[in-house]
Structure 1
């Protein structure tokens, strides 16, 4: 997750309380990559199966 945050694809928001709670979300840049991620997953399912 720290890599995504460093590349401006992800955000983390700490919620105060006990226990500590962190919410993760995608930036606009991260959301724009979702289509590519889905296509890569689809390709992997077809050509790599459950490997």
Structure 2
């Protein structure tokens, strides 16, 4: 099954900076990628 996750990048950048602090763009992108993958693994689609 293919899944797409749409993220409002502007909102995410501002919100994550306030919550988690400033990091580089690369670190922020890696953080978001890991978060999305973790979300997919923890979610049970179709059950």
TM-score by length of 2: 0.39
Indicate the structure with greater strand content.
1
Q: Which structure has the bigger radius of gyration?
A: 1
Indicate the structure with greater helix content.
2
